[in-house]
Amino acid sequence: MKLSGTFKLAGDKSISHRIALLSLMASGECEVSNYSTAKDCMTSAQALNSLGGVARFSGGKLFLSSMEYRFKNGANIDCGNSGTTMRLLMGVLAAAPGKFYLTGDESLMRRPMERVAKPLREMGANISCAPSGTPPVTLQGDELTGIDYTLPVPSAQLKSAILIAGLRAEGVTRVAEPVKSRDHTENMLKTFGADISFQSGAWCVRRSKIELPSAFSVPGDPSSAAFFLCGAAMLRGSEVIAEGILLNPTRIKFLEKINGMGVRIEIEPKGESPEPWGNVMSRYSGQLSPCNITADELPLLVDEVPILALLATQAHGVSVFQEISELRIKESDRIAALVSELGKMGARLQIDGSNLIIHGPCRLKSHNSLESFGDHRIAMTLALACGIADAGSEIRGLSCISISYPEFFDTMKELTS
Ligand code: S3P
C-alpha cells in the first residue's frame, strides 16, 4: 500500500467541543464553520439541546445561540463515548441553577470523573459520582468560590473544567499545571472576553461574562491527520499533504517526533485565527530511527501515541514511551490494546512499569482476529497496520472510528487509489 495526494480534515475535535459547550455560558450568536463531524462532537451539540438550548445544523454550519446560563432543570445528558463532553460539562454546570445528570456509554461509564469532581467540590460544587469515582455524575448547581489548584495529573479536560467553573466563582480561581497540556480553553476564554491571565505560573480566572464571536471557523483536526501523516512515513513511495489543519504547538508535537525519526515534514502556515493553521506534508524518507517520548511531552501528543507506537514498530532500534499509564484510562486501555493487537501481527512491544518499549523493525503479518476494543484510535491504528501487512487481516469493531473520524476510510481510499 502507498499513500499519495492531498486531503482535507473536518474541524478539530477539541476546539469543536469547546465552542459548543462554551456557548452555554456565553451571550451572543455564532455561526460555526467546519465544526467537527465526529460523533463525539455531535454528542456535545446534542447536550445543548438536552439542556434546553438550540444547536442547529444548516448548510454545513452549526448555529449556536446564547442560553444565558439558564438550563432545563432535571436534564439527563447522555455524553456517549465522550470524556471531553462530560468533563467540560461538569465545569459548566457546577454553578448552574437546577439538578443535572450525566451518563455515557459502557466505555465512558468506566472512566474517572472524581478527578474533576474533587476540585469542583472544593470550589463549593455539589457533585457526586459512583463510589468507584466513575459516572453517573449528579450535579446540583451551587455558589462557587475560587481555589488555588495544581493539577495532580496533566489533563486539559481537568484544567478546562476548573477554568470554566471559575467564570462563575467568587474571587480568583488559579490553576497551575506542572506539565503543559493543550491550551484551547485558555485561548478561547481570552478571545471571548473572560477575565483570564497567566500570572506566576498559573492561569487565573475571575467571575466574568464571555461573548460568542458572530463567526468562528474550526481548523482541521491534526490528531485525525496524524494517521495519514504517520502512515505516509512508513509506506514506501508515499507523500501526503493535510490541508488546513490546526498548528497550535500544544497539538503538533507528533510532527516533531516523526521528523526526529528521519521523516521529511514540511509545514506551511496559512492563517492565525482562531488559532494557527496551515498545510502539512509528510513524505516516506526511508529508514526510520526510534522514537522516544518523555513524561513531559506526553500531554502534547497523548492522542497520537497509538499511531506513533505503530510507526515505532517500523523503526530501526528500540523506542521508549515513558510514563504513559494515562493511556490505560482512555476509551480503552490503549497500552494493553497496542501490546496485544500489534503483538498478534508480530510486533514486539513490552511493558516495563509505566513505560512502553517497542523493538523495531518488524515485518507485520496479517491476522484474522484483530480487536479494536471499541476504541476509535486503536481501530485506525490497526487499519493502517493492516495496510503495511500482507492482505488477509480482519479487525472486529471498526464502526467506532466515527467517534472521531467518520471520513477515515473515504480518505484512505482517495489516498490509495
Ligand atoms: C482532550 C484532552 C485529552 C485528550 C482528549 C481530548 C481535550 O484528554 O486525550 O482526546 O479536548 O481537552 P485528557 O485531558 O484526559 O488528557
pLDDT interval class at 74 (50, 70, 90): very high
- Are 95 and 36 found together in one domain? yes
Say if 290 falls within a structural domain: yes
CA of 157 to the centre of ligand 1 (A): 5
Q: Note the pLDDT of residue 393.
A: 93
- Are 51 and 179 found together in one domain? yes
Q: Is the dihedral of CA 60, 384, 15, 65 positive or negative?
A: positive
- Atom of ligand 1 lying closest to residue 329 CA: 15
* Residue 132, burial from CB neighbour count under 10 angstroms (0-12, 13-18, 19+): exposed
Q: Which residue among 84, 275, 297, 308 is best mutated to probe the pocket of ligand 1, counting the most ligand atoms within 8 A of its Cβ?
A: 84
CA of 252 to the centre of ligand 1 (A): 14
- Are 157 and 288 found together in one domain? no
Kindly tell me if the per-residue pLDDT of 390 is higher than 80. Answer: no
Q: Which residues contact 261 (CB under 8 A, 6 or more apart)?
A: 233, 288, 289, 290, 291, 311, 315
Say if 45 falls within a structural domain: yes
The tens digit of pLDDT for each residue in 114-135 reads: 999 999 999 999 999 999 999 9
Q: Closest residue (by CA) to atom 10 of ligand 1?
A: 303
The tens digit of pLDDT for each residue in 153-180 reads: 999 999 999 999 999 999 999 999 999 9
- Are 196 and 254 found together in one domain? no
Q: What percent of the chain has pLDDT over 90?
A: 96
Kindly tell me if the per-residue pLDDT of 365 is higher than 80. Answer: yes
Note whether 206 and 172 are within 8 A (CB).
yes
- Are 255 and 321 found together in one domain? yes
Q: Which residues are catalytic?
A: 303
Say if 17 falls within a structural domain: yes
- Measured in whole angstroms, the distance separating CA 53 from the mean position of its chain's CA atoms is 25
> How high does pLDDT run on average in the chain?
97
Q: Note the pLDDT of residue 316.
A: 98
- Atom of ligand 1 lying closest to residue 303 CA: 9
Number of other CB atoms surrounding residue 148 within 10 Å: 12
Kindly tell me if the per-residue pLDDT of 67 is higher than 90. Answer: no
- Are 196 and 249 found together in one domain? no
- Are 196 and 248 found together in one domain? no
- Are 192 and 311 found together in one domain? no
Burial letters 19-53, b for 16+ CB under 10 A, else e? bbbbbbbbbeebbbebbbbbbbbbbbbbbbebbeb
pLDDT interval class at 312 (50, 70, 90): very high
Note whether 235 and 284 are within 8 A (CB).
yes
Q: Note the pLDDT of residue 56.
A: 96
Q: Which residue among 86, 155, 377 is best mutated to probe the pocket of ligand 1, counting the most ligand atoms within 8 A of its Cβ?
A: 155
CA of 297 to the centre of ligand 1 (A): 14
Q: Per-residue pLDDT averaged across 253-278, rounded?
A: 98
- Are 24 and 67 found together in one domain? yes
- Are 296 and 172 found together in one domain? no
- Atom of ligand 1 lying closest to residue 154 CA: 16
The tens digit of pLDDT for each residue in 197-227 reads: 999 999 999 999 999 999 999 999 999 999 9
Q: Per-residue pLDDT averaged across 224-244, rounded?
A: 98
CA of 388 to the centre of ligand 1 (A): 29
Among 180, 204, 228, the domain boundary falls at: 204
Q: Per-residue pLDDT averaged across 79-102, rounded?
A: 98
Kindly tell me if the per-residue pLDDT of 60 is higher than 90. Answer: yes
Kindly tell me if the per-residue pLDDT of 47 is higher than 90. Answer: yes
Who lines ligand 1 at CB under 6 A? 14, 17, 84, 155-157, 160, 182, 302-303
- Residue 316 C-alpha cell reads as 530501526
- Atom of ligand 1 lying closest to residue 155 CA: 14
Q: Give the H/E segment covering residue 91.
A: helix 83-93
Among 154, 176, 204, the domain boundary falls at: 204
- Atom of ligand 1 lying closest to residue 13 CA: 11
SS3 label, residue 175: strand
Q: Closest residue (by CA) to atom 11 of ligand 1?
A: 14
The domain containing residue 182 runs over which residues? 13-204
CA of 47 to the centre of ligand 1 (A): 18
Say if 5 falls within a structural domain: no
Kindly tell me if the per-residue pLDDT of 68 is higher than 90. Answer: no
For the chain, the straight-line distance linking the first and the last C-alpha, in angstroms and rounded, comes to 10
- Are 231 and 144 found together in one domain? no
DSSP code for 390 = P
CA of 171 to the centre of ligand 1 (A): 27
Beta strands in 263-367 (DSSP E): 264-271, 277-283, 317-321, 348-352, 355-360
Say if 33 falls within a structural domain: yes
Among 150, 181, 204, the domain boundary falls at: 204
- Are 335 and 243 found together in one domain? yes
pLDDT interval class at 89 (50, 70, 90): very high
Residue type, 402: S
Q: What domain count does the chain have?
A: 2
Kindly tell me if the per-residue pLDDT of 27 is higher than 80. Answer: yes
Q: Closest residue (by CA) to atom 16 of ligand 1?
A: 155
pLDDT interval class at 79 (50, 70, 90): very high
| Opening angle at CA 18, ends 15 and 21, nearest 5 | 150
Say if 234 falls within a structural domain: yes
Say if 247 falls within a structural domain: yes
Say if 307 falls within a structural domain: yes
- CATH value at residue 252: 3.65.10.10
The CA radius of gyration of the chain, in Å to the nearest whole number, is 21
DSSP code for 218 = P
Kindly tell me if the per-residue pLDDT of 341 is higher than 90. Answer: yes
